[in-house]
Structure 1
């Protein structure tokens, strides 16, 4: 159900094992396809569903703002892997 050009509401049914089909319009906006990972961000009783790859890159940018050149390629890969696993690492900043 459309609310405006950049905001809309859609619904999905939760199945027995907690599975939900992400509506096509939402998948398109998130840029997720078969095999993509999504991240659930829970804040004060609300949940945002985001593309995990984009979320990891945003997290990396935040980290780089505080530590800059100190991040090695291994650090970046570890951070991406942590985000994929749903890590809840506290960010300093």
Structure 2
């Protein structure tokens, strides 16, 4: 168990071992989440990444992407459409 003291301004220093476990360093942001009456602190970037991953669950299947080559082909198609759109405006 690690302890931290709260200053008069409501600030704390996160102990080194906790920072290592969270994977945070100077300038990183942490997030506080409430789950089942408990407050959980986490690495804000990792929490955002997990939420984004969860939001995309099933999207590849919905779009018919079954292989890595399907993804590569889709990226090429989107790039081609963007290229055509940008150059069509310049004509």
Q: TM-score by structure 2 length?
A: 0.62
Counterpart-to-counterpart distance in 2, 1:43 and 1:21: 23
SS at match of 1:13: coil
Runs (4+) off by over 3 Å: none
Counterpart-to-counterpart distance in 2, 1:12 and 1:47: 15
Written as runs of structure 1 = structure 2, the 5 A alignment for 1:12-91 is: 12-65=4-57, 68=59
Counterpart-to-counterpart distance in 1, 2:7 and 2:37: 21
Report the CA distance between 1:45 and its aligned residue.
2.1
SS at match of 1:10: coil
- Which of the two has greater helix per residue? 2
Q: TM-score by structure 1 length?
A: 0.60
* Cα RMSD after superposing both structures: 1.6
Q: Choose 1 or 2 for highest CA Rg.
A: 2
**C-alpha distance after superposition, 1:12-47 (max 9, x if no partner):** 111111101000000011110000010101123211
Aligned residues: 61
